Amino acid sequence: MRRTIFTLIMLCIATLTLQAQDVWTAAGSSTLFGSHWDATDTNNDLTPLGNGIWELTKTDCILEKNVKNELKVLKNHNWAESYPQTNYVFTVEETGTYNVTIQFNENTYEVGVITKKTGDAVIGEKTWTVAGSPEILGKDWDETATENDMIKQEDNVTYILTKTDLTLALGTYKYKICANHGWSENYGDDTDPEGNASIYIAADGIYDLTFTFNTDTHEVSCVPTRKADALIEKIWSVAGNEGLFETAWDELSTANEMTKQENNIYVLVKKGISLNAQTYEYKVCSNHDWTESYGADPLGIGNAILTITEAGTYDVTFTFNQATKEVSATAVPSVTDGISQIASDIKTKKVIFNLQGQRISAPKQGVYIINGKKVVLK
């Protein structure tokens, strides 16, 4: 009886151990795995071989010469832990059908791939499409957008797409070239953390963009052609030294947004600022970001300067011309109105008399003697 109980206990422990065991899964392009980067696909679970070694073999994969195949191995069907840090990439030297064996060492977290060619294969002609930022392509990273399909050139390896009359703001825009309206095969810039190619627009304007892709080298490029100026509506705000602003160089502050006036002039007025006798620096930036900012010159090089020669309380007016990128600021001593002056006088317990020499506790409008000085209260 005791032996039977002991056996049952051991079986329960073994069952619990098996249930608690981690699972490692491979995920990547559908060319290899049937599903596209699907962390939950149990068909791609690796098999434990012992000593921390896991393995999965995918058969009859059609792989193309020099085309990158990417994958990762992840723990318990979750991307929270996956290896390697960047995708594992491999290629084959001949187009054909292959058995692909993925190996993973859970002790060292190393990933390896062994390929074995099992037959020939013919790859048909592909459709190449540009997908990326909606500002440059009209669709937001839409690999299915047929209007962004590229046109094959006479050399049979170069594909081109031209987008015309785009109104673009200064900044960087990203894109990729993908095959057959899917992400299984795509190309961009390997130096980018996400593998995206990019185009930099140096100034607001109207542009034509020419995208080019070489199917042999997988080289990707985009050339912008500026056709005309363009003024693009943006949020303009001012940031600079503490004292001039509540927080130093805070481009995110909505309190420092400028108000649009006529002729593309933007203004911000900050009243009642206590300033020291010193030089303050500031800049105007667009859309709460430093990518586009202007200060001492229209090129955005150097900070703009406001010089205060005498400490005091000032009203400061910042002005920005979006067309010329000129920035300026003026500071004038703050003027306190009569009502505020009365409140201040009473609060500081000043002695107040009327012109007849009578002491007044709650003065109204008129002329009074306050602490020995004649003052007009409005």
> In what helix (H) or strand (E) does residue 136 lie, and over which residues does it extend?
helix 134-137
Cα–Cα nearest to 101, from 119, 114, 112: 114
Range list for CATH 2.60.40.10 in the chain = 21-119, 128-228, 236-333
pLDDT greater than 50 at residue 63:
yes
**Strand 171-179 to 128-132 pairing:** antiparallel
Can you name the residues that pair with 65 across neighbouring β-strands? 92
pLDDT of residue 280: 98
Q: Length of the chain in residues, anyone?
A: 378
CA dist 58 and 174 (Å) reads: 33
86-105: average pLDDT: 96
Closest C-alpha among 213, 197, 3 to residue 127: 213
Q: Per-residue pLDDT for 224 more than 80?
A: yes
With CA atoms as reference, report the closest residue to 238 among 257, 217, 266, 220: 257
Share of the chain above pLDDT 90, in %: 78
Looking at residue 51, what DSSP letter applies?
T
Q: Could you count the other beta carbons within 10 Å of the beta carbon of residue 41? A: 16
Selected residue with higher pLDDT from 8 and 137: 137
For 230-283, how does the pLDDT look when each residue is reduced to its tens digit (9 = 90+)?
989 999 999 999 999 999 999 999 999 999 999 999 999 999 999 999 999 999
Q: Can you give the pLDDT at residue 306?
A: 97
State the pLDDT at residue 293: 95
Residue 16 pLDDT > 50: no
DSSP symbol at 333: E
Residue 348 has a pLDDT of: 46
* Helix/strand/coil for 90: strand
> In this structure, what DSSP letter does residue 156 have?
S
Spatial CB neighbours of 190, under 8 Å, sequence gap ≥ 6: none
State the pLDDT at residue 298: 73
Tokens of 269: 């007025």
Amino acid letter at 226?
R
Q: What is residue 4's predicted lDDT score, i.e. its pLDDT? A: 58
Give CATH superfamily name and number for 128-228. Answer: Immunoglobulins (2.60.40.10)
Q: Mean pLDDT lowest for which of 20-29, 102-111, 293-302, 360-369?
A: 360-369
Please tell me the predicted confidence (pLDDT) of residue 9.
57
Note the CATH number of domain 236-333. Answer: 2.60.40.10
Q: Looking at the domain covering 21-119, what would its CATH class be?
A: mainly beta
pLDDT of residue 11: 54
Handedness of CA 27, 30, 32, 34 (dihedral sign): positive
Tens of pLDDT along 148-171? 999 999 999 999 999 999 999 999
- Residue 19: predicted pLDDT: 47
Return d(Cα 137, Cα 176) in angstroms, integer.
Answer: 11
